[in-house]
């Protein structure tokens, strides 16, 4: 039994009302511009509940703009974002968390001076009151099952964690908000192969538990779960899109280099 199954079970029961469940996340013609810089142009995709979407691209390809706009941190220039069928495009970031979208930001978002325990509690407190029927102790227990190291580090200032531990804390913190969709901005960034493997093992467990995941990365990652959709971004546009298949490292290199011409 996956450590996260309780969360997903409660969610799927909410969605059985409709004959065909709406997509957990639907992004339609999303366009992000910073002044005259066109960061992202016309990105569209949908993820059914429990699906995993992988977005690959080099620096400046528009990956972060895509997830930041989905999380509400950046106002899109155009396009719509729907979560569970509900339009959240105009919702500010802090309310979108309550709508079920959690972001693990690039660089893991350490909060130096705040203990691991308080970090986790901040995550739990992002839940809307209606979702707090599950006590904090039980919720955090599941996070410890996923990342045992966090239990040993509870009292530590999170500024003293290693990169891998901080990434695990950032994911645990986001999961405690009980999201329907978890967005991860380069979770492997700056980590050694071993912590990358640990982090992805946990993400595989999340995927198996029925959580909808959107992961962005620069290069291929040790993900066991086959993404339902893999897209490659270049200069803000999708240049490669595959369902239930990932480009090989060779193809990826080709796409990155070829796209430059």
Partner 1 sequence: MRLDRLSGRSTRLAGPITVTIVLAGLWLGDSAFWIYNLTLVGAYAIVVIGLNILLGYAGLVSFAQTAFMAVGGYGVAILSVRHAVDPWLGLIAGMAVAGGAAALIGLALFRLRGHYLTMASFALAMGVFGYATAAVSFTGGSVGIAGVPPFVLGSFTFSDPRHAYALVWVLVGLCAWAGVRARDSHVGRAWRTIADNENVAASLGLPVLRYKLIAFVIAAVMGALGGGLYVDFTSYANPELYAPAIIVNIFLMLFLGGRGHTLGPIVGAAIVVIVPLQIAGLSDIQAIIFNLALLVLILVLPGGLLDARSWRGLAAPLRRLRALGGADAQMAHTADAELEPAALAGRSRR
> What are the residues binding partner 1 (CB under 8 A)?
68, 71-73, 92-95, 97-98, 102-105, 109-115, 117-118, 121-123, 125-127, 135-136, 173-174, 177
Cα 97 to chain center, whole Å? 12
**CB distance 107 to 115 below 8 Å:** no
From the CB of 173, what's the least distance to partner 1, in Å? 7
From the CB of 76, what's the least distance to partner 1, in Å? 16
Q: Which is nearer to partner 1, 53 or 103 (CB)?
A: 103
Question: What are the b/e assignments for 97-123, b being 16+ CB within 10 Å?
Answer: bbbbbbbbbbebbbbeeebbbebbbeb
From the CB of 240, what's the least distance to partner 1, in Å? 28
Q: Which is nearer to partner 1, 33 or 117 (CB)?
A: 117
DSSP 72: T
Q: Which is nearer to partner 1, 76 or 247 (CB)?
A: 76
Nearest alpha-carbon partner for 126 in 81, 93, 156 = 93
From the CB of 177, what's the least distance to partner 1, in Å? 6
Q: Which is nearer to partner 1, 21 or 105 (CB)?
A: 105
Q: Which is nearer to partner 1, 11 or 127 (CB)?
A: 127
Q: Please classify residue 260 by burial: count the beta carbons closer than 10 Å to its beta carbon, then call 0-12 exposed, 13-18 middle and 19+ buried.
A: exposed
From the CB of 164, what's the least distance to partner 1, in Å? 18
User: What are residue 2's phi and psi, to 5 degrees?
Assistant: -70, 145
Q: Which is nearer to partner 1, 153 or 173 (CB)?
A: 173
**CB distance 212 to 45 below 8 Å:** no
User: What are residue 25's phi and psi, to 5 degrees?
Assistant: -140, 130
**CB distance 259 to 239 below 8 Å:** yes
From the CB of 94, what's the least distance to partner 1, in Å? 5
Q: What contacts 147, CB < 8 A, 6 or more positions away?
A: 168, 169, 171, 172, 202
From the CB of 35, what's the least distance to partner 1, in Å? 15
**CB distance 58 to 240 below 8 Å:** no
Helix (H, G, I), strand (E, B) or coil at 196: helix
Q: Which is nearer to partner 1, 73 or 208 (CB)?
A: 73
């Amino acid at each position: 039994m996956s450590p996260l199954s309780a969360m997903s079970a409660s969610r799927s029961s909410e969605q059985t009302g409709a004959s065909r469940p709406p997509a957990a996340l639907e992004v339609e013609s999303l366009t992000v511009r910073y002044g005259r810089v066109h960061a992202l142009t016309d990105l569209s995709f949908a993820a059914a509940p429990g699906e995993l979407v992988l977005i690959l691209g080099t620096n400046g390809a528009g990956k972060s703009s895509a997830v930041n706009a989905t999380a509400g941190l950046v106002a899109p220039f155009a396009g719509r974002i729907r979560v569970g069928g509900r339009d959240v495009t105009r919702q500010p970031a802090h309310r979108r968390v309550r709508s079920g979208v959690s972001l693990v930001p690039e660089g893991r978002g350490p909060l130096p001076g705040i203990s691991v325990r308080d970090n986790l509690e901040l995550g739990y407190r992002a839940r809307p009151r209606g979702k707090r029927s599950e006590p904090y102790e039980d919720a955090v227990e599941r996070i410890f099952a996923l990342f045992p190291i966090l239990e040993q580090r509870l009292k530590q200032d999170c500024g003293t964690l290693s990169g891998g531990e901080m990434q695990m804390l950032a994911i645990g913190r986001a999961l405690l908000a009980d999201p329907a969709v978890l967005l991860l901005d380069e979770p492997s960034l700056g980590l050694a192969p071993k912590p990358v493997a640990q982090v992805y093992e946990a993400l595989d467990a999340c995927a198996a538990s029925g959580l909808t995941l959107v992961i962005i990365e620069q290069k291929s990652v040790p993900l066991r779960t086959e993404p339902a959709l893999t897209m490659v971004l270049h200069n803000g546009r999708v240049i490669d899109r595959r369902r239930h298949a990932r480009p090989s490292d060779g193809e990826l290199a080709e796409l990155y280099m070829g796209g430059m011409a």
